Structure formats: C-alpha cells, structure tokens
Chains A and B, each alone.
Chain A
Amino acid sequence: DADVTQTPRNRITKTGKRIMLECSQTKGHDRMYWYRQDPGLGLQLIYYSFDVKDINKGEISDGYSVSRQAQAKFSLSLESAIPNQTALYFCATSAIAEDTQYFGPGTRLTVL
C-alpha cells in the first residue's frame, strides 16, 4: 500500500465551488506539506504543518486553507475555486524539516 495517499485523484469543478483535497500518510511523519505544480514553474509550497497544532503559510497560500485533523491527515481546501487554481496538487511528508520529503500521487484539479 502507498505510504502517502491523496483523494480524489482527479476533480473537475466550476468557478466558485468549494473543494477539499485530502491527504493521508502511514509513514508516521510529523511534517506534512501541500504543493501545487504548474508547467514550467516547478513546485510551489502552499501550506505546511509540523504537527497537529502547527500550520504555516507557504509561498502561495492566498485562496487556500488547510486543516490538520490528525498526525496522519492534512486537508487542503479551496473556499471558492477559480480557473487559475487549475493545477496538479501534491501532498508530501517528512520526518524532520531537513530530510527527504515523500510525495503522494497527486490530485489533478480543473476549475472551469
């Protein structure tokens, strides 16, 4: 079984809709991250969390919010989706900040 899972894997939605992307991990890591990937831009950090009570904004947090429901779960929400949020979204985990990050399979989100 995959260590980092994301649901849904694909989602098409309309402008203005609220969307939640979910991430779960079985690696036992404290640190979790949400990135978006756009062609030619690499990965940009949206939010990150070092434990259940710790949430931090990344480079591009505007228009997004997160919830760390448990050590193993980290959800990303788009309160009112807009077309330029169409992207591939990845969740990642790490044991400590300086160590390897392990990525989930990604969620492809299309906002019409």
Chain B
Amino acid sequence: AQSVSQHNHHVILSEAASLELGCNYSYGGTVNLFWYVQYPGQHLQLLLKYFSGDPLVKGIKGFEAEFIKSKFSFNLRKPSVQWSDTAEYFCAVNAYNTDKLIFGTGTRLQVFP
C-alpha cells in the first residue's frame, strides 16, 4: 500500500533560519506530489504541487520543493523563514489510477522572532 513519511514531526526555528522538511513516499509508479499548509485554526491550503516537468517546483510565500525520483522524495525548502510561517505542513501523494490522496502525518513548524 502507498504511504507517505514525514520524519520531522516538530521543527523549531528562529526567524531567518533555513528550512527543509522531509517527505518520502512509497510507490513505484507515476505520482503527483503536493505540499499543503495549515495555519493555526485554518483549513488546509495548497502550497505547491508537482505533476511533471522541472523537478524543482516553486510555490507561494517563497517555498520550493524538489522531486527526486530515485529517492522517492519531495522535500520542502525555504531559505529564510518568517514568524508567519508557523503552521503545520502536510506532504501528500496521489498515485495515478488510485483516485486517492495519501497524506503524511504532518510537520509542525514553530518560528520564533
């Protein structure tokens, strides 16, 4: 069965620090990959997605993610975080012909001024 692993459960950073959140999935076929963000008290919003093409994807608010097929990874990065990036981040994978989006367990990011 498909699965998505987010190994960082809770990350604490100071403003201006660099961020990298890991995401690995288990599925050998073609996949679509997503990062969603959930700000405190709010619903999930799409941060970025990868369907095909350039494996380096740029999203909103300065976030980017790189799809490395050989490593089954889709790590999220931001060079310099802000206090407003405090949120929970979810990686999700949709494998072709499965009709379902599988979510990781999420990473809680806290950014201190």
Contact = CB atoms under 8 A, between A and B. Distances in A.
Interface of A: 33, 35, 40-45, 48, 50, 56, 58, 90, 92, 97-106
A103 B104 contact: no
B103 A103 contact: no
B44 A41 contact: no
Given A40-B105, A42-B90, A42-B104, A100 B46 contact: yes
Give the interface SS of chain B, mostly helix, strand, loop or mixed: loop
B82 interface: no
A103 B106 contact: no
A18 B20 CA distance: 44
Q: Which of B42, B90, B99, B104 has the most CB of A within 10 A?
A: B99
B10 to A, nearest CB: 10
Contacts of B98: 97
Contacts of A41: 105
